[in-house]
Amino acid sequence: MPNLMRPRWTKLNSLALMVAGFAPAAISGPLDEPHLNITLRTDDEIARIERVLFGVDDYSKAHQFEAKPAGAATVRVLTNADAFSQPTENMPFEDELDFKVGNGLFRKLWVSSPSSTLASDGLGPLFNARSCQRCHIKDGRGHPPEDPKDNSISMFLRVSIPGGDAGAMVEIEDYIATSPEPTYGEQLQDFGLPGVPAEYRLQIDYEEIDVALSDGETATLRKPTYTAANLGYGPLHPDAMLSPRVAPQMIGLGLLEAIPAADILAQADPSDSDGDGISGRANIVWSVEYGMPMLGRFGLKAGHPTIRQQSAAAFAGDVGISSPLYPAPYGECTSAQVKCQTAPHGDQDVRGFEIDSEGLDLVTFYSRNLAVPARRDVNDPKVLRGKQVFYETGCVSCHTPAYVTHRLQDQPEQSFQMIWPYTDLLLHDMGEGLADNRPEARATGKEWRTPPLWGIGMTEQVSDHTYFLHDGRARSLLEAILWHGGEAEAQRNAVIEMPAADRVALIEFLENL
């Protein structure tokens, strides 16, 4: 077992070498970042980065830059549900209109074709929601249906079957070949336009599990079982693999995209060569836009390399909207769904696609620049004690606290900022309890990308719930921790066994992020 009392923020010690262009031999994978217009760092900047990025050994006060988790892009804290919907603080005035127009497209309710509103038609014919905002309500976190009558508007099931032609993916080492489910494609949609049957209804059944904690305390977890009920096009393939997904929060995406790939890859340790029990692997995925393998950063299994591709894929799968990256006018319905493929669509005449390149760029700009709120009371003694517990328990082995972003020529909001997202953006084996048993690119059925933690303490304020993890099964941050297994089992056990006061402090720290 690793030494849980040792501060673990140590895998970034080679940052100065990497930003200078030297990558240790252990780093593998694509370092090209064609989506970013990068200026190389100077020797002076490399030295400054080395000074500010270091392991923590003083928990008596907050780090001098910790109160602003997004650097100069950090915004003040609002006390209402709009806290995640603000533009970055350092956005140039002339770009604010693009942010507002992008917000309008993000919130737009799409309608079916044909329609007199030519700029808004093209919905479906199969879809999960009529707008991006319907899943990412207030740009926050989605949730599972809370009772059998509640729809699953911010949650769906991905689906695929094993095997198939890897095609260009043979360039990606350890790529796991899968294929769309022959009848239902890659995602199950629970809404259809008139005359086009919906694909399914999401059914979730929960089993209660009690967990004994130290000091006589207990916690109760709920273990979900997912069923694709009321299938509209016949049975699923017998080898179909289902993966539940809840819409994640939207803040800070542009800053995550601006983290140097080398800094992320430097933390990968697939063979656990340092013996700390934590591996971490990069998901290398295919870029639809650039036609090359790239580092996956976005999605619950890091299945997309850029915000633009993630946005276009969501338009196609969630709303049934075509774009230059995913041009099928009927979304992702299959050849077995004839009524879906032959229904009227909205990509004729005016735009060429249901959302064209300019519209996709505006949504990307909006998504890139949703701001991270400032932290609150970072020097509160309870918060500082919780921070010490978080670090010394080893949570920072995956939830890497801080980075310095690339210096970017045309993205001043994200350029050369010290940020505190608390993620390594790598894949980790989280054990059988959280396994969906569905691979995605290099990610196995037990691996998930480490989620960023910034803003997690404001979930209830923004989203009016406290559901966490990829499928919202955890009803509190403590429950989310207790579901950790695999590489994080030692940390989970440490939380179970630590004094109750330390558990309280740990949650105080997380709620302060």
Q: How far is CA 506 from the centre of its chain?
A: 23
What pLDDT was estimated at residue 348?
63
Q: How far is CA 218 from the centre of its chain?
A: 30
Reported confidence tier of residue 149, pLDDT bands at 50, 70, 90: low
CA distance 255 to 416: 10
Residues 232 and 318 in one domain: yes
Beta strands in 89-154 (DSSP E): 126-127
Q: Alpha-carbon torsion 318, 320, 367, 175, what sign?
A: positive
Residues 220 and 267 in one domain: no
Q: Under a CB-based contact definition with an 8 Å cutoff, are residues 115 and 193 in contact?
A: no
Residue 360: inside a domain: no
**Arithmetic mean of pLDDT, 125-130:** 96
Residue 218: inside a domain: yes
Pull the structure tokens for residue 285.
């995925």
Residues 64 and 183 in one domain: no
- Residue 58 backbone class (left: φ over 0; alpha: ψ -120 to 50; beta: rest): beta
Residues 241 and 261 in one domain: no
Residue 163: inside a domain: yes
The secondary structure of 214-257, three-state, reads: HHHCEEEEEEEEEEEECCCCCCCCCCCEEEEEECCCCCCHHHHH
Beta strands in 358-505 (DSSP E): 403-404, 407-408, 418-419, 427-429, 447-449
Q: What is the share, in percent, of the chain residues with pLDDT greater than 70?
A: 92
338 Cβ neighbours under 8 A, 6+ residues apart = none
Residue 337: inside a domain: yes
Rg, the chain, Cα only: 22
What pLDDT was estimated at residue 25?
33
Residues 212 and 303 in one domain: yes
CA distance 81 to 85: 8
Beta strands in 75-143 (DSSP E): 126-127
Integer CA distances (angstroms), 226 to 157, 207, 241, 431, in order: 9, 12, 11, 18
Residues 214 and 162 in one domain: yes
**Arithmetic mean of pLDDT, 145-164:** 86
Residues 118 and 60 in one domain: no
Reported confidence tier of residue 60, pLDDT bands at 50, 70, 90: very high
Q: What is the pTM of this model?
A: 0.94
Residues 243 and 254 in one domain: no
Residue 22: inside a domain: yes
Q: Under a CB-based contact definition with an 8 Å cutoff, are residues 378 and 74 in contact?
A: no
Q: How far is CA 81 from the centre of its chain?
A: 20
H or E element in which residue 206 lies: strand 201-212
Residues 482 and 389 in one domain: yes
Q: Are strands 407-408 and 201-212 parallel, antiparallel or unpaired?
A: unpaired
Q: Which amino acid is at 71?
A: G
CA distance 327 to 139: 26
Over residues 480-509, the pLDDT tens digits come to: 999 999 999 999 999 999 999 999 999 999
Residues 189 and 261 in one domain: no
Over residues 211-227, the pLDDT tens digits come to: 999 999 999 999 999 99
Can you tell me whether residue 170 is helix, strand or coil?
helix
Pull the structure tokens for residue 269.
């340790």
Mean pLDDT across the chain: 91
Residue 5: inside a domain: no
Residue 287: inside a domain: no
Residues 33 and 176 in one domain: no
User: Number of folded domains in the chain?
Assistant: 2
Which residue range(s) make up the domain with 135? Answer: 93-249+298-347
CA distance 297 to 257: 7
Residues 39 and 178 in one domain: no
Over residues 370-379, the pLDDT tens digits come to: 999 999 999 9
- Residue 431 backbone class (left: φ over 0; alpha: ψ -120 to 50; beta: rest): left
Reported confidence tier of residue 28, pLDDT bands at 50, 70, 90: very low
Over residues 282-307, the pLDDT tens digits come to: 999 999 999 999 999 999 999 999 99
What pLDDT was estimated at residue 351?
63
Residue 293: inside a domain: no
CA distance 112 to 215: 58
Q: Give the number of other CB atoms < 10 A from CB of residue 219.
A: 16
Over residues 365-400, the pLDDT tens digits come to: 999 999 999 999 999 999 999 999 999 999 999 999
Over residues 64-94, the pLDDT tens digits come to: 999 999 999 999 999 999 999 999 999 999 9
Q: Give the residue with greater pLDDT, 21 vs 481.
A: 481
